[in-house]
Amino acid sequence: MLPVMGTTEEHSFETFIGIDLGGGKGKNTAVAMLARSDEGVRVRFVGRKDRKRRPFYDEHLVAYLRAHHAGALVAVDAPLTRTVCTRCVLPRCPGLAQCSDPVVEWFRGPGVDLAPKRTSSHGKPLSTPYTQRACEVVLYRRYGILPRETLGQGMGPLTARAHYLRRALEDIFERDRNLIEVYPKATIHRIFGADVARRYKRGADTWRVRAEMLETLSEHLRFDIWREGCLRDDHAFDAVLCAYTAYLYHQQSWQLPEAGREIFAQDGWIWFPRPEEGLVESNGSDEPEET
């Protein structure tokens, strides 16, 4: 029996750490720390360097998380689980059509049911369990939010780094207990709508869009530091959104979906505001965004 993950009833968190994870050899990783307050949470730190002005390369990121893990819930914008095929330990692959792994069976059953009732004239598969996880299919097909696939184009190094960091910290962080996977764009899509989710990074008025978003959230999300740096930096802004998603996850005691719960507990889940959590419905189009 798989453990029922995705419940915060037994844990109380005082800080929420968001990580917009970049490649291990680059300087794009950003970290944000939010602290609980009477009205919600307050941003106490956000940036691409630690307090000693060192970029968040692996050793510095691990050191930061170890130093601040007590009472903290960490939210990472990167896959915390690998795809079912890359986890396989069978001596020989039986093929997708014959595989009895529950996750692969989900791809053949509920995963197919989520897809549009049309197929490519060339027989192109609509999902592939060796590059995607079940949660990514759900995010796209049920909620109209196009995620980054676990092993999609350019994602391999990021997924590998997330896997390394999770292993390096597994003595103090456990997935879906005090470590969760999030996707800032999905949070924005559900709270502010598809149009804002498209414009908050690539639009001509990006700064204004972000400022309006933070103003909307200001009843529960406030800054104790200079806010402008966050508005100007894609990665810093996403790190704050990761941490804020962690706060919502805890504050509202989000749960894994009832349908497919054991599949998502095993295969991984991207936590984002769903209608079941009683948050604002998306006021934009639910059509998947093309990239």
Per-residue pLDDT band for 245 (boundaries 50, 70, 90) equals: very high
Residue type for position 254? W
Task: Tell me the per-residue pLDDT of 271-290, one tens digit each, with 9 for 90 and over.
Answer: 999 876 544 333 333 433 33
Class of domain 15-83+148-274: alpha beta
pLDDT grade for 166, boundaries at 50, 70 and 90: very high
Task: Of 54, 30, 52, give the one whose Cα is nearest residue 229.
Answer: 30
Q: Is the model's pLDDT at 6 over the cut of 70?
A: no
- Mean pLDDT across the stretch 240-266? 96
Selected residue with higher pLDDT from 287 and 242 = 242
Three-state secondary-structure class, residue 51: coil
Q: What are phi and psi of 15, to 5 degrees?
A: -130, 155
* 279 compared with 185, residue with greater pLDDT: 185
pLDDT at 104 over 90: yes
Question: Dihedral, CA atoms, 142, 244, 228, 145, nearest 10 degrees?
Answer: -10
Q: Do residues 61 and 165 lie in contact, with contact meaning Cβ atoms separated by under 8 Å?
A: yes
The percent of residues above 70 in pLDDT, for the chain, comes to: 88
Say whether pLDDT at 203 is over 80: no
The backbone torsions φ and ψ at residue 78, rounded to the nearest 5 degrees and listed phi first, read: -170, 155
- What average pLDDT score do residues 111-137 get? 80
Apex 136 CA angle, 131 and 138, nearest 5? 135
66-69 contacts at long range (C-beta below 8 A, 24 or more positions apart): 66/169, 66/172, 68/15, 68/17, 68/33, 69/169, 69/172, 69/173, 69/178
Q: Are 42 and 223 in contact (CB under 8 A)?
A: yes
- CA nearest to 16, candidates 182, 231, 209: 182
Domains in the chain: boundaries? 15-83+148-274, 95-141
pLDDT band for 9, please (50, 70, 90 cuts). very low
Question: Averaged over 158-172, what is the pLDDT?
Answer: 96
- Which tops the pLDDT comparison, 51 or 285? 51
Does pLDDT of 14 surpass 90?
yes
Residues of 83-108 as b/e, b for ≥16 C-beta within 10 angstroms?
A: bbbeebeeeeeeeeeebebebbebbe
On whether the pTM is more than 0.85, the answer is: yes
